Structure 1
Amino acid sequence: MQHTKITYTILASIMGLGAILSGCGEDKEVIPAVSGISQGQASQFANKIKISMFNQGTFNAAAPLPPREEDIQRQMLENAMNIDLNMIIPQSGQATTKLNTLIAGGDIPDLLFLKSRADLAQYYDQGVLADLTPYLEQFPKLKQRFGKDSWDAMFYQGKTIAVPGYDNVNGISRSLFIRNDWLKKLNMKVPTTPDELFEVMRAFTEKDPDGNGKSDTFGFIGGMNKEGNLQTYGFDSLMWMFGVNPPSAIEVKDNKPVFLFIEPKMKEALAYINKMMEAKVVDPDWVTMNTPDLLDQKLYKGKVGFMVRDARRLEPDAQQKMKEIGGEVPEWIVIPPMKGPYGDEILERKSFQGNSWAISKKADKDKIIRILSLLEYLFTDKEAYPHFAYGIKGIHWDLVDGKVKNKTPDLTKELKEKYLWVDHYRMPRRGDDTEYFSFKNPKTAEAFTNNQKYVLDPLPGNLLTADLSDTLSADRTRFINESLVKFMTGKDPLSNWDQFLKTLDTKFDMQKYKDNAIKQFNDAGIIK
């Protein structure tokens, strides 16, 4: 079927969504003029069809769906595509059960949001999902909307079986915070290398940077989650200085997989952290830091000079907590990652594009074309973008001097609760859209923007799916995590590194893990 290019000129209908202000005083309720939506040039599809959407990609599963006459975003989608849209919002924690029940009953939704590549592969193997390869060339804007790494995650058994779900957000939650006021007091500069960082951490620990005459400050604190994984809690950021990361990071070089967590450079990274431990620059409370909230408390107290936290901790509400908990608002600044001995300057790797939009195999060609047209409109129409990403014009956003201004943070509690359902449509929001996040402190937006250049593409190891025949998988991962902690703390000397590698091979069948990775990389065309 030849696809006719669609021109989405629904601006006239969107402009009818202006707000009517009623009441007086400071609490003025804003009511959208729903009746202003035009039906004129909404769609070039002549025949109206029904499309069911299983939307577990909603940003708020608890929000009830409003009636169609109040649901502006739904009306926009229906008008643009000439469809009758039935959106299914599964309750939080019950999505898999709900979807499996629908599939078992033969009532497969036309459009399905899936949260993991494992689910995508499983449902395709079961014959539930359509192969989209023959259709995607007809949608160049949709193909351009997502990067190659995102589309690679949609590739399975030589076919593209889904469209990326929504942008993951990178470059904010793992920002490098340092006490600039302490640097100034100690006459030190922002560190740029691992060696410089070590000297700064040691000075923060030993030279009484807060001037209270007590030995109660530390250079660094990190942690690990309750499963013993070091990722995302700070220590992994130190490892990235050496170009490595636990516990299963795999890249491909020279057509061969490189298992970063057992590379010689990992030994160097562990030696660096062990040096920190030996110098006592690490807050000993790190062993109890197994939730993000606990690390935030350390940030608020202000007794640690360098740590990895979310850049949003520069926002006014977090600054207020610093004042309440630590008695002051320290001069925290976000700095670039150190340039390591091998030239690595990595803040983090992009989050893997696990989420996706898949289409039922029961859909005929015409319906597949209509659904892909819907996704192209949803994700690429510039005029419609703020209506989906931000919410209702006049309530959640407005045009100020010709630019979109997100008003969501300033809404009353009542208005926020009244329009919670707009969260069902926020998927098109871009992961680097500073207006979407509505940062109140310009330094937060600056840090977020600056961090982007240090966010690298995701590692190909993320494409691997679990090998169900690998019965040692969980034990192997646990052993790796425990061993890395023992090495970095000195509980196990690094002279035993080779023994660690040997145990992985003999007791935990590391070769089986490697063989499975190579096979999957071959199947995906990553290794030729």
Structure 2
Amino acid sequence: MAKVFKKGVLGSMAIVLMLSGFLVACSKNEGGSAATTSPSGSNSPSPSKEPEKPAKIRVSLWDRANAPEGQNLGNNPIIKYVIDETKKIGLDVEFVSLPRAQESEKLNVWMASGEAPDVILTYSMDTIFKYAEQGGLWELDSYLAKYPDLIKNNKKALDQVGMYKGKRYAIPALKANTYAGPNMKIRKDWLDALGMKIPTTNEELYQVLKAFKEKDPGNVGKDKVIPWAIPAINQSMKAFFFGPMFGFGVNMDGPSNQFYAPDGNYKNGVFTSAVATPEGKAYYQWMNKLYKEGLISKEFVTDVSSQQFTQQVNSGVAGFVDSNDVPYTMTTNTRKSVPTANWVPVEPFKRADGSQVMTVVGDYAMFVAVPKSSKNPDVVMKYLNWMVEPKNLATVQSGIEGVNWKNDGGVRVQIDPEANKKTTWVSAQGDLAIVQQGVPAYNKEQLIKSVAISLPDDKQREEYANSYLAFYDVFKKFGKPNTVIDSPRPVAQKTVAAIEKHLYEGISKVIISTDFEKTYSEMVAGWERAGGKDYDKEIGDAYKTMKK
């Protein structure tokens, strides 16, 4: 079995598509005349052929419930660009809303009813495996082979994932900049006010969070301080459990999942999910203590859309987060309320043995797949191939050149960032650009150039560049890829949805519990009933096979 590596954390996930579409041929004689000879021998023009009807293609587009006022999936200039430009190659594109917070449920309904769009999206490799095993997806090898530009652009991603039992069922988006992923951030201005250093261990983080709560270094009011901001634990949560959980000794030894936390440890030929490890229990007990002491958001369980989390960060009352946000972006957003705010990255916490662990995103992002209910997979491939054309890719990623951005030596410079937020939000999220997320990481000169318009002076541009370089450096120094299990996992296909649903609910209950031991035991028992032990055994067996 091939061993491939996935530089990422959030679990794996999947993408597939279809294509076809024919250009109407037109006749042309040597003299350039449009006339042809009729069967009677006259030079009267033959009846003109009706233009071929564009091939219909329905494309999933995640709805994150974050559209700016006046914007929606049917009223957006970038979406209009896609629809208008693809008509020129014989495609009729219709976007279909897929609520991000209910992705799994919606996909299951679509697939079961045969009403799925031609393009479905997921970040879960197990989801792709499940539908492929059930015969619900098109095999894409022969269709992809017709489009060398798509193959060339996405080669790194294609070489790593998207295959099942030796056949391709998903087209993975290329992740152009791998210096990204889950990472901890902290308010450096709060630390400076307290004379404290950036924490290097979980215990140091605890002491810092207590100081944030008790001393209110941001002067926001002790009753308003949120030392550690987290939202509800669900499929679309904006903050994670990676950093501190890694610090407790939980690893990312299994396949990534949609729970946004280290998934478990592989030792002596046995894999154990985080929830059932001693290290995992210690972490959850620690979180329970933090909750009881008011060091994490008291109402996080109800924050299912992460709106409260976002408001806490932006209003300046939060001091620590673990998410995949970029520190400089957080700083910019918080400075609208607190001009002195300064979010900085936190290096992985040191474990008892002195090691520091964190993951990095892989060379692939979402998976694109084509359901069997779709009539023409070639049309999907044609759509994806259209998107990798440089002009089209730049547009779906960044907006209209000359309107939203200008090209400065290969660097896309935003013309009016505030105006862009109202028109390019689907592009900025990467939800339209399903063949590639982002551009290769910029160096310092390119970073400074990229904000030449949006930041008015040299000092601000320097701060911007240094913030990004510090952020990248954490991933360069500590980020490690984890192994991808690319073999069939029938147990996971049957159990992973139930397991994840149970953990979303069970871990929330454990964190807020007044009786930790009782609630934790109930959570583990529920995990076992959902198939947790069989799930773990399958992973362990797969690793043994891969090591042979």
Q: TM-score, normalised by structure 2?
A: 0.60
Query: Superposed, which structure 2 residues align to 1:77-476 within 5 Å?
Result: 83-91=89-97, 112-115=119-122, 118=127, 121-122=130-131, 125-126=134-135, 129-132=138-141, 136=145, 139=148, 142=151, 145=154, 147=156, 152-165=160-173, 167=175, 175-207=183-215, 209-210=217-218, 216=223, 220-225=227-232, 232-244=238-250, 249-250=263-264, 256-274=270-288, 276=290, 281-282=295-296, 284=298, 286=300, 289-308=303-322, 310-311=325-326, 313-314=329-330, 316-320=332-336, 322-323=337-338, 329-342=340-353, 343-346=355-358, 353-358=365-370, 375=384, 378-379=387-388, 381-382=389-390, 385-400=393-408, 403-407=411-415, 409=417, 411=419, 416=423, 426-431=433-438, 442=464, 445-446=468-469, 449-450=472-473, 452-453=475-476, 456-457=480-481, 460=484, 474=498
Aligned to 2:341, the other structure's residue is in SS state coil
> Which ranges of structure 1 fall in alignment gaps of 5 or more residues?
1-47
Deviation at 1:303, TM superposition (A): 4.2
Size of the alignment, in residue pairs?
451
Which structure would you say has the larger RCO, counting Cα contacts within 8 Å and 6 or more residues apart? 2
Q: Tell me, in whole angstroms, the C-alpha distance in 2 between the residues paired with 1:58 and 1:339.
A: 37
Q: Is the 8 A contact 1:129 1:358 kept in 2?
A: yes
Deviation at 1:163, TM superposition (A): 1.5
Further displaced range: 162-171 or 392-401: 162-171
Q: Is the 8 A contact 2:214 2:222 kept in 1?
A: yes
1:285-325 alpha-carbon deviations (Å, 9 max, x no partner): 556555422123333454443233533653645422x24xx
In structure 1, give the amino acid aligned to 2:94: I
In the superposition, relative to structure 1, how do residues 516 and 386 fare at CA in structure 2: closer, same or farther (>3 Å)? same
Q: Is the 8 A contact 1:313 1:319 kept in 2?
A: no
Deviation at 1:447, TM superposition (A): 6.3
Aligned-pair Cα RMSD in Å: 5.6
In structure 2, give the amino acid aligned to 1:296: T
Q: Tell me, in whole angstroms, the C-alpha distance in 2 between the residues paired with 1:238 and 1:136.
A: 44
In structure 2, give the amino acid aligned to 1:386: A
Q: Is the 8 A contact 1:249 1:461 kept in 2?
A: no
Map of 1:56 onto structure 2: 60
Map of 1:478 onto structure 2: 502
Q: Tell me, in whole angstroms, the C-alpha distance in 1 between the residues paired with 2:407 and 2:344.
A: 32
In structure 2, give the amino acid aligned to 1:241: G
Aligned to 1:209, the other structure's residue is in SS state coil
Q: Tell me, in whole angstroms, the C-alpha distance in 2 between the residues paired with 1:411 and 1:142.
A: 35
Q: Is the 8 A contact 1:165 1:427 kept in 2?
A: yes
1:495-522 alpha-carbon deviations (Å, 9 max, x no partner): x97x669846875654343455567x48
Deviation at 1:159, TM superposition (A): 1.5
Deviation at 1:132, TM superposition (A): 0.9
Deviation at 1:466, TM superposition (A): 7.2
Q: Is the 8 A contact 2:347 2:474 kept in 1?
A: yes
1:184-215 alpha-carbon deviations (Å, 9 max, x no partner): 23222222222332332233334453579x85
1:65-113 alpha-carbon deviations (Å, 9 max, x no partner): 99999967437xx5xxxx5233233355699699779968xxx99x744
Q: Tell me, in whole angstroms, the C-alpha distance in 2 between the residues paired with 1:501 and 1:362.
A: 40
Map of 1:492 onto structure 2: 516
In the superposition, relative to structure 1, how do residues 488 and 289 fare at CA in structure 2: closer, same or farther (>3 Å)? same
Deviation at 1:429, TM superposition (A): 4.4
Q: Tell me, in whole angstroms, the C-alpha distance in 1 between the residues paired with 2:504 and 2:81.
A: 55
> Which ranges of structure 2 fall in alignment gaps of 5 or more residues?
1-51, 64-71, 252-258, 456-463
Aligned to 1:55, the other structure's residue is in SS state strand
Deviation at 1:356, TM superposition (A): 1.0
Deviation at 1:64, TM superposition (A): 7.6
Q: Tell me, in whole angstroms, the C-alpha distance in 2 between the residues paired with 1:54 and 1:162.
A: 17
Q: Tell me, in whole angstroms, the C-alpha distance in 2 between the residues paired with 1:490 and 1:351.
A: 43
Q: Tell me, in whole angstroms, the C-alpha distance in 2 between the residues paired with 1:314 and 1:126.
A: 43
Q: Tell me, in whole angstroms, the C-alpha distance in 1 between the residues paired with 2:313 and 2:186.
A: 10
In the superposition, relative to structure 1, how do residues 392 and 120 fare at CA in structure 2: closer, same or farther (>3 Å)? farther
Q: Tell me, in whole angstroms, the C-alpha distance in 2 between the residues paired with 1:476 and 1:266.
A: 16
Aligned to 1:405, the other structure's residue is in SS state strand
Query: Superposed, which structure 2 residues align to 1:508-527 within 5 Å?
Result: 510-515=532-537, 517=539, 521=542
Map of 1:22 onto structure 2: none
Q: Tell me, in whole angstroms, the C-alpha distance in 1 between the residues paired with 2:162 and 2:411.
A: 34
Q: Tell me, in whole angstroms, the C-alpha distance in 2 between the residues paired with 1:152 and 1:484.
A: 34
Q: Tell me, in whole angstroms, the C-alpha distance in 2 between the residues paired with 1:70 and 1:217.
A: 45
In the superposition, relative to structure 1, how do residues 65 and 505 fare at CA in structure 2: closer, same or farther (>3 Å)? closer
Q: Tell me, in whole angstroms, the C-alpha distance in 2 between the residues paired with 1:388 and 1:508.
A: 40
Q: Tell me, in whole angstroms, the C-alpha distance in 1 between the residues paired with 2:146 and 2:483.
A: 26
Q: Tell me, in whole angstroms, the C-alpha distance in 2 between the residues paired with 1:211 and 1:473.
A: 43
In the superposition, relative to structure 1, how do residues 336 and 469 fare at CA in structure 2: closer, same or farther (>3 Å)? closer
Q: Tell me, in whole angstroms, the C-alpha distance in 1 between the residues paired with 2:79 and 2:342.
A: 49
Aligned to 1:181, the other structure's residue is in SS state helix
Identity, in percent, stands at 16
In structure 2, give the amino acid aligned to 1:240: F
Q: Tell me, in whole angstroms, the C-alpha distance in 1 between the residues paired with 2:78 and 2:416.
A: 19
In the superposition, relative to structure 1, how do residues 261 and 286 fare at CA in structure 2: closer, same or farther (>3 Å)? same
Q: TM-score, normalised by structure 1?
A: 0.62
In structure 1, give the amino acid aligned to 2:510: K
In the superposition, relative to structure 1, how do residues 62 and 299 fare at CA in structure 2: closer, same or farther (>3 Å)? same
